[in-house]
Amino acid sequence: MSHQTIKPAAVTSAHLICYDHEHDLMPLVFANCHYSFEMGVGSKIEYDFVGLERQLMDRLLYSKSKIEITAFLEVII
């Protein structure tokens, strides 16, 4: 997947990752965890970290441009 590359001076809020903990992250966490309950043992929660990582990348990273990071100050002698 090819992303547009932009210079730091051109960065706007649309280029940055912005999320709300309750609205954006918690639904992904809940969608990628599996609860089980066994009498005498109690509850067990397992997380699908691979699935969670994939969904985070799809929702938060793939739509963003790459920000070109170079030296902030170059001295030419």
CA neighbor of 52 nearest in space, from 60, 44, 63, 42: 60
Query: What pLDDT sits at residue 23?
Result: 94
pLDDT exceeds cutoff 80 at 75: no
Query: What pLDDT sits at residue 62?
Result: 87
pLDDT tens-digit series, residues 14-53: 888 888 999 999 999 999 999 898 888 889 999 999 999 9
What stretch of H or E contains 18?
none
Listed by start position, the domains of the chain span 5-67
Query: What pLDDT sits at residue 71?
Result: 61
pTM of the model: 0.66
CA neighbor of 4 nearest in space, from 63, 60, 58, 65: 65
